[in-house]
Amino acid sequence: MSTLASRPVADAVDVSFTDDELVVTLADARRVSAPLEWFPRLLRASPEQRSNWRLIGRGVGIHWDDVDEDISVRSLLAI
């Protein structure tokens, strides 16, 4: 009998930006970054709008109310 085990995914604890990247810090201290070009709404957003984020589901995702953007940690780790 076999069992399927899903890979553990760390939750997001912080979000920051460089001039051209989204940077997400995970609960296990890893940092994941992705080009802002991949997220047009965040690319066009002002610094104030980018800084107005909140965690979804205790860190499984991130939401930006001002630009109606949602990004899951799982999708960032799949990149």
Could you read off the pLDDT of 17-51 as tens digits, one per residue?
999 999 999 999 999 999 999 999 999 999 999 99
Domain at 12-77, CATH from 3.30.930.10, 3.30.2020.40, 3.30.2310.20, 3.40.50.620: 3.30.2020.40
What pLDDT digit, counting tens, does each position of 49-71 carry? 999 999 999 999 999 999 999 99
**pLDDT range class, residue 6, cuts 50, 70, 90:** low
Q: Which of 6, 3, 10 is nearest to 26 (CA)?
A: 10
Give yes or no for a contact between 77 and 32, defined as CB atoms under 8 angstroms apart: yes
The rounded distance, in Å, linking the Cα atoms of 8 and 10 is: 7
* Contact criterion met (CB below 8 Å) for 8 and 28: no
Q: Are 67 and 54 in contact (CB under 8 A)?
A: no
